[in-house]
Amino acid sequence: MSKRKYDEIENSKTNDIDKNTKIIKVLKNNISLMSEDIALYLRKVRENQKEIEMIQNLLYEICEHNWERDYTIMSEHSEYICKKCNCYR
Ligand SMILES: [Zn+2]
């Protein structure tokens, strides 16, 4: 094999390794960015759940409820829902 041909093959191998290293770096970075997004979304979900709970408590306190049996819930215990505020008791 000519020296030139040998160099070409060696260079293409090196290029493949470089390319692969770059792809791995990009993919790892993508995972890292998406993981950060997930953490942000999870925090937002928890914040919203807390806020919903606070609002429901407030609703429960200020509403002059009009309780009605809720037949959509399949439970041994009867559930009542307020027709005005949608709170349960
Ligand atoms: Zn109510």
- Mention every residue, 6+ apart, whose C-beta is less than 8 A from residue 6: none
- Cα of 54 vs centre of ligand 1, distance in Å, is 15
- Cα of 44 vs centre of ligand 1, distance in Å, is 27
**Across 14-18, 20-24, 83-87, least confident range:** 14-18
- Cα of 57 vs centre of ligand 1, distance in Å, is 11
**CA-CA distance, 47 to 38, in Å (whole number)?**
14
Strand pairing report for 67-69 and 80-82: antiparallel
- Cα of 74 vs centre of ligand 1, distance in Å, is 21
pTM of the model as a whole: 0.62
- Cα of 36 vs centre of ligand 1, distance in Å, is 39
The size of the chain, in residues, is 89
The pLDDT tens digits for 24-63 are: 999 999 999 999 999 999 999 999 999 999 999 999 999 9
**CA-CA distance, 23 to 33, in Å (whole number)?**
15
